[in-house]
């Protein structure tokens, strides 16, 4: 049996001081531009939409900005977006024409982007900034549900080529101070991401891997949790769940940023034919 800390949704308390620590999240962004579609495809992701819309109610206060670690951005070194008014990247294929003109008009935050870059450079890490990159669908599809009014600034951060789990956990540790500065950190990926596996095979593989993942996140010691994630490829059905691990790596960053905070399972549903789970760390 998993031993996750019990959690209930609550309304943000405006009386909390501005320095209240933000939790961190690993969420799914769903398939393609699903929030902007209707009918059966949109309905597949209805449970995910409910979970994403619940995120603001799990925060101590409205965030100053959101930092999204996107599964859809990889660079030779960790890279931070610093655009004041990010554009859009329609990085999906074969969807209706209107989905290539949707807009998520949230501002960026060059100030917070530079703050993030400074955390890495002060630790001796190579880091880059990008003032041109727009929101990819790993960011805008998720944020459309969390903050549909696009009122909160959004900063994106890349993964690093090589997709080394330990390195991404270490990145998360460097990002921890942001939680006390009003920045909400979200890893945007999916706990199962094999677009070639369908039907019963996808269902079985996702169930097996998800059971391991929930157990790993429920480990009582932070070091145990980090070690399990570092060795994730040895988990049951690991390479069936993630032939390439870019959609799992945002969880490594979030686990690092979580520090010693316990994991809360906040979503575990079948999206189409595969089980997907999401986690919050911190209260």
Residue 223: both structure tokens together? 């070091």
Please report, for the chain, the start and end positions of each structural domain, with discontinuous segments joined by +.
24-281
Q: What is the pLDDT of residue 3?
A: 38
- Percent of the chain at pLDDT above 70? 93
Q: How far is CA 155 from the centre of its chain?
A: 13
Q: What is the pLDDT of residue 9?
A: 28
pLDDT at 10 over 80: no
71, 246 Cβ separation under 8 angstroms: yes
- pTM of the entire predicted model: 0.93
Q: What mean pLDDT do residues 142-161 have?
A: 98
pLDDT at 151 over 90: yes
Partners of 278 in the β-ladder: 267
Among the ranges given (16-25, 75-84, 131-140), the one the predictor scored with the smallest mean pLDDT: 16-25
The strands making up 154-160's β-sheet, listed across from edge to edge, are 128-130, 79-81, 154-160, 65-75, 183-189, 24-28, 274-281, 263-271
Backbone phi and psi for residue 227, each to the nearest 5 degrees, phi listed first:
-65, -40
Residue 90: both structure tokens together? 């329609």
User: Which CATH architecture is the domain 24-281 placed in?
Assistant: 3-Layer(aba) Sandwich (3.40)
User: In 3D, which of 81, 86, 138, 143 has the Cα closest to residue 112?
Assistant: 81
Cα–Cα distance for residue pair 71/48, rounded to 1 Å: 17
Residue 19's pLDDT band, with cuts at 50, 70 and 90, is low
Residue 59 DSSP one-character state:
S
Instruction: Report the mean per-residue pLDDT for the chain.
Output: 93
Q: What is the pLDDT of residue 75?
A: 98
Q: What is the pLDDT of residue 283?
A: 82
pLDDT at 150 over 80: yes
Residue 55's pLDDT band, with cuts at 50, 70 and 90, is very high
């Amino acid at each position: 049996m998993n031993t996750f800390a019990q959690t209930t949704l609550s309304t943000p308390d405006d009386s909390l001081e501005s320095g209240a620590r933000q939790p961190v999240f690993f969420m799914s962004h769903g398939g393609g531009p699903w929030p902007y579609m209707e009918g059966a495809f949109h309905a597949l992701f209805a449970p995910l939409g409910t979970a994403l819309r619940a995120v603001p109610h799990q925060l101590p206060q409205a965030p100053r900005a959101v930092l999204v670690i996107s599964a859809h951005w990889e660079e030779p070194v960790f890279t931070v977006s610093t655009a004041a008014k990010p554009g859009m990247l329609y990085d999906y294929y074969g969807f209706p024409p209107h989905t290539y003109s949707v807009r998520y008009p949230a501002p960026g935050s060059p100030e917070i982007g530079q703050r993030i870059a400074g955390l890495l450079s002060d630790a001796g890490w190579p880091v880059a900034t990008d003032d041109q990159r727009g929101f990819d669908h790993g960011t805008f599809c998720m944020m459309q549900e969390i903050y549909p009014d696009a009122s909160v600034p959004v900063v994106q951060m890349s993964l690093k080529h090589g997709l080394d789990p330990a390195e991404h956990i270490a990145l998360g540790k460097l990002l921890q101070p942001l939680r006390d500065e009003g920045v909400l950190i979200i890893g945007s990926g999916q706990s199962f991401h094999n677009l070639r596996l369908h039907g019963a095979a996808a269902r079985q593989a996702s169930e097996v891997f998800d059971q391991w993942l929930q157990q790993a996140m429920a480990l009582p010691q932070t070091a145990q949790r980090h070690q399990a994630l570092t060795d994730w490829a040895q988990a049951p059905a690991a390479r069936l769940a993630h032939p390439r691990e870019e959609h799992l790596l945002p969880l490594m960053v979030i686990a690092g940023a979580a520090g010693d905070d316990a994991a809360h399972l906040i979503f575990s549903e079948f999206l189409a034919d595969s089980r997907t789970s999401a986690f919050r760390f911190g209260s």
